[in-house]
Chain A
Amino acid sequence: MSELPPTTSVKRWFVTTNHKDIGILYTITALFFLLFGGVLALLIRMQLWDPTSQILSGLAYNEAVTAHGLIMVFWFLSPFGFGFANYFVPLQIGADDLAFPRLNALSYWMYLFSGILLGISFFQGGTLDAGWTMYAPLNIPMYTPSIGSTGAVLALFMFVVGITASTVNFLTSIHHSRAEGMGIMDMPMFTWSMLATVWMMLFAFAALLAVGLILASDRVLGSVYFSATEGGSLLWGHLFWFFGHPEVYIVFFPALGVMLELFQTFSGRRLVGRKWVIIAICLISVQSFLVWMHHMFLTTINLEIKTLMMATTIGISLPFDLVVFSLIYTLIKGRIQFTTPFLFAFGALLLFILGGITGVFLGAIVLDYEFRGTYWVVAHFHYVMFGGATALFGGAYYWFPKVTGKMYDELLGKLHFVIFFISFNMVYFSMFLGWETPRRVFEYNPEFQIYHQFGTIGAFVLGLSFFIMFYNFAKSYVSGEPAGDNPWDYSRTAEWAVSSPPPLENWPNRPSYASGKLEFVKDYVPDGGPAVKADGDGNAATDGGDTHEEHISEYPYWDKHPSHASIWPFALSLALGIMLLGLSGFSESVTFVLGETVAQTSVEIANPIYPILAVVGLIGLIWTGVKWGLQDFYAPPTEFAERWPFEGVEKVKLGMWFFLASDVIVFGAFLSAAIFVRYNAGWMTWEPLTESLPGLINTFVLITSSFTVILALVAAHRKSRQGLLASLGSTIALGFVFLAIKMWEWNHEIFDRGVTINANAHGDPVQASIYYVTTGLHGIHVVIGLLIAIFLFVRAYQGHYLDDERPIEYFGLYWHFVDIVWVFIFPLFYLF
């Protein structure tokens, strides 16, 4: 399974886990979504041509607006940047691949299938029509009833799951696999931008995952978070924008990274004030989480908080100022070459300056009051986000020779830039001129018709300009001039030190910067032992005898080849996609009729297709998960690497820590939601729904099970198979006890006390929703933990883990985390 077919084979593209292949897949898929979102944009522009006539109904227009926003922000901008990141971050840091190659493939396939789900949602009675911001309560089925709306929400959920995997992967790779001698401050600027991006993503997307789960629960299970008048609407606003503002920088930073690279390469100058630019980037990443309420200045937030948010918002423009000035000063005294990539990067800077200045307007609250919900906002964020993406197109031209080995056509490239830049400003500058038009409205004041018509013409030109790029790339790929390894005069980063395209495992020998510049060193590998570090001269520290030649010509670590192929990422994503497709129509197809007891409760199935899909998908998910776990897949650890600040932390453990950090935010969002709604309802008006005793018993059960996991680890360490089986078995048993008590409790609530997910005989319905959904999320974590524990138990029975107890340790980390979460849930839902 680990043999990778050649690139000409279709099979290769389904099984590949190589970062360069995945990068290509990401880039091509993202460009497809650019076209998809672009066609929707043109529909919008056609509707705006004449304020009195319309080609789309109000509903269809809203669907186009919503899908355009979702596709461009999620399915185009970020994945396009991640295409480059996949291909070039490992090359720039001197790694063979990302830390978890299969997980990387999984991220891609989740991205693709989530996009397919979104496409399918158009045919499920129409896709979501609540805007990409999905404000509550317009986002619940009462106001957006189509199955496709639920389909779109679940598509977004799946996208975020893939993104989370990708985030963990990049964080681990950049912190764990940098070549020897490449300190964190030495990383190329594109990699630095990506590092800041994934750090923001770790926390921001976790918030989106949480709010997406709550919305999916409202839509599929019928909970009532967002229809609650006890702050349901504002809850959405806070959670969405806590994600939404960092998201702006998440989509912009990859483009900024490309600008920082290209300005240096095409001016022959090193970045001015490099250290300060890095500090500014880090500052922005932190500050991005402190400004979200500036999207909500017109809500009922009080003046003090608004003023604080104004200050932080204006504050975040300052580090950006520094970055922009650094870019400008880098060009001075250079030898600037006006190649296509540079033109796009430079154009991006000009567009970003305009986007930034108009953003300062929005930071001033009084002006924001008037700009809110108008085309000023639309124009501003297109200048920032699409303006940023302009640099990404520059990146596409810049790296095209590296990826294909062929040179693109310079004349066609420049033609693309000229048409692109002019039509870009036609579309979006006209929006500033007609800014008083409310956004997402097509029956606007005829006074502004001239601006909108001008913009529509620009939009069509803008859209067509991309076909010049597609033609250029296609033609050059087939019959372009060979580009050579390094077509640029002043490139610095390591991807230009290898062939075009780079070999499968990237490097001729181990890359090292120990001497202050890139060298490829040969390591001496004793029989059956780990590699021995080469000395500083780039020679292996051996006597140079021929006896070791055999090992050296092989891959330098032990005798095992790294794996590059696995079908399971594709299969698992397919299964999840089918399950989510089934869930999208689940609530319309299945009705639970409550009786007096569980036995009297009946299930009415109106349409069997959706429930069947859901069940088939779930079974597939578990099956592919097991196959994944059993596959012998070898991703070699990097032997000599710079790991600041995580020296001494093993790769998988580091990944686990990153994953748990994001899960902390997910639960944090759920608990914050519970506290926020309860505060709005009047804190003291709520009594706990449940008795405290079952919760108390469950607290002891879980804490004990944490203890038995530690015993399992100790037993494995002592190579005691029986001890391992006994303590793992106890953990599993305790987990089942926990679930049994939970089931009893829910059964008691539903049938004895009349508390269901959307009805509460003792108070606010939303209190019942919060109780079921929060403890339910925790319960799902317990179930997943049990599935893993059972898998480990069976493998332990077969004799595994006695030589390498790390899987037990990593499972333990997860299990302890789930137990700690319970310690927060218990007082909130059982005591007070």
Chain B
Amino acid sequence: MIDSLILQQGSGWRAQAEVFDEIFFVFLALGTLVGTIVVAYTLWNVYKYRDDGSEPKEDFDAPEVGELPTGQGGPKAKKLFLSFGLSAIVVISLVVYAYGILLYVEEGPDADGDNIEITVEGYQYGWDYEYPNGHTETGELIVPADTRIDIAVTSRDVWHNFGSSELRIKSDAIPGDTNTNWFSVSSEEVQAQGGEATYMVECFELCGPGHSAMNGQITVIPQDEWETWYEGTGGNSSNVEGGASVNGAANLNGAAVGGVSA
């Protein structure tokens, strides 16, 4: 909860990937801990109470065929509720914690109106992007660094899912329906990747025989470079055909950016 409050102050943006890594780590650590304790405790007891052929203890009361079951109370049931209560506390606190993060992820950072809204349309088998000025791209989405990018995802034919594992974003692309999501990449990250950060886009919902190869790319470039490029588009569509493969899209990128700077 505290984390989420800090997040919402808007002092520094946290990319979805960063948020995901944190919550994933917390769940993984707790899950491993709980799992190890429970499994180790179980294995130890199974070994301890194995039937080694010795005489049964005095309090051992063997069941018989045809007996009606009797409900058991006593110390065992108390222990049952103790364990149940403990696991309930762990699980519920995890949920409360996860809920705080959820609010941040749903809301996103405050962009003061500097965000860019892009429509993403899935089709068999690729992605089209439409910028606010009407310019459209196929296969590759070129966006500026340090900017909140809002995507509105839909589909032209069947149900797809627009997702980038590296950016930790994912949205169902449903025909007749529009889904929203956001992401942003810092300029430090872009610099670290050599002035141009690229992220693979994959389809995460089975959409037909070409589903496996339904890839795209998100390319993030520094803000000034992007603005120059964007002005050059002038609202015209780039006549790109079949840019679904990553390699194809990467080549187009070079061509498009080069065209602007020339």
Contact = CB atoms under 8 A, between A and B. Distances in A.
Contacts of B59: 333
A496 B71 CA distance: 21
A751 to B, nearest CB: 31
A344 to B, nearest CB: 14
B206 A264 contact: no
Contacts of A130: 206
Nearest to B52: A335
Contacts of B124: 143
Interface stretch (B36-44, B113-121, B128-136, B233-241): B36-44
A213 interface: no
Given A276-B77, A336-B49, A436 B161 contact: no
A589 B72 CA distance: 65
Interface in A228-274: 228-234, 264, 267-274
A440 interface: yes
Contact of B92 (A185, A314, A322, A492): A314
Contacts of A299: 172, 174, 177, 179
Contacts of B83: 321, 325
A137 B64 CA distance: 57
Chain A, interface size: which category?
35 or more
Contacts of A517: 64, 66-68
Interface string A363-377: 111110110111000
Interface string A130-160: 1101011110000100000000000000000
A801 interface: no
A92 to B, nearest CB: 11
Contacts of A370: 20, 24, 165, 168, 170
A438 B27 contact: no
B34 interface: yes
Given A272-B77, A492-B63, A357 B51 contact: no
A518 to B, nearest CB: 3
Contact of A338 (B50, B68, B88): B50
A531 interface: no
B45 A311 contact: no
Interface in B41-84: 41-42, 45-46, 49-51, 56-57, 59-60, 62-72, 76-77, 79-80, 83-84
Contacts of A363: 95
B50 A336 contact: yes
A346 B46 CA distance: 10
Contact of A62 (B19, B80, B208): B208
Interface string B193-216: 000000010111111111111000
Contact of A322 (B57, B76, B84, B200): B84
B163 interface: yes
B42 A350 contact: yes
B83 to A, nearest CB: 4
Interface stretch (B98-106, B138-146, B221-229, B250-258): B98-106
Interface stretch (A198-206, A483-491, A668-676, A824-832): A483-491
Interface stretch (A53-61, A282-290, A596-604): A53-61
Given A271-B72, A360-B31, A58 B211 contact: yes
B206 A360 contact: no
A361 B31 contact: yes
A492 B102 contact: no
Contact of A234 (B174, B205, B212): B174
Given A143-B157, A298-B161, A358-B31, A274 B62 contact: no
B208 A233 contact: no
Interface string B83-94: 110011001101
Contacts of B178: 300
A282 to B, nearest CB: 15
Contacts of A519: 66
A264 B208 CA distance: 48
Nearest to B66: A518
A516 B174 contact: no
B45 A328 contact: yes
B35 interface: yes
Nearest to A496: B65
Contacts of B20: 366-367, 370
A311 B95 CA distance: 8
A151 to B, nearest CB: 18
B210 A366 contact: no
Contact of A272 (B80, B87, B98, B168): B80
Contacts of A65: 206
Contacts of A493: 65
Contacts of B50: 335-338
B179 A300 contact: yes
Given A270-B69, A276-B77, A492-B65, A350 B39 contact: yes
Contacts of B168: 369-370
B23 interface: yes
Interface string A733-752: 00000000000000000000
Interface in A188-217: 188
A274 B72 contact: yes
B127 interface: no
Nearest to A491: B65
Contacts of B213: 58, 443
Contact of B60 (A143, A325, A335, A374): A335
Contacts of B88: 318, 321
Given A61-B212, A186-B69, A331 B45 contact: yes
A336 B54 CA distance: 12
Contact of A233 (B67, B98, B102, B174): B174
Contact of B212 (A361, A372, A441): A441
A591 interface: no
A307 interface: yes
B174 A300 contact: yes
A373 B163 contact: yes
A817 interface: no
Nearest to A66: B206
Nearest to A377: B204
B222 to A, nearest CB: 27
B172 A298 contact: yes
A442 interface: yes
Contacts of A310: 95, 98-99, 102
Interface in A456-505: 486, 489-494, 496-497
A364 B204 contact: no
B6 to A, nearest CB: 16
Given A182-B68, A233-B176, A325-B80, A364 B209 contact: no
A492 B64 contact: yes
B208 A360 contact: no
Contacts of A516: 68
B195 to A, nearest CB: 24
A438 B204 contact: yes
B171 interface: yes
B172 A441 contact: no
B213 to A, nearest CB: 6
Contacts of A489: 62
A329 B76 contact: yes
Q: Which of A57, A338, A364 has its CB near the most chain B CB atoms (within 10 A)? A: A364
Contacts of B69: 186, 188, 270-271, 274, 492
A85 interface: no
B68 to A, nearest CB: 5
A321 B84 contact: yes
Contacts of A186: 68-69
28 contacts: A135-B159, A136-B159, A137-B159, A138-B158, A229-B176, A231-B177, A233-B174, A234-B174, A268-B60, A272-B80, A274-B70, A307-B102, A314-B91, A321-B88, A333-B57, A333-B60, A335-B50, A360-B94, A361-B24, A364-B27, A365-B102, A367-B98, A369-B168, A436-B165, A438-B163, A492-B67, A493-B65, A517-B67
Given A58-B213, A229-B177, A438-B202, 4 more contacts: A268-B60, A346-B46, A357-B35, A516-B68
Give the 4 A-B CB pairs with smallest separation, nearest first: A229-B176, A518-B66, A373-B204, A58-B209
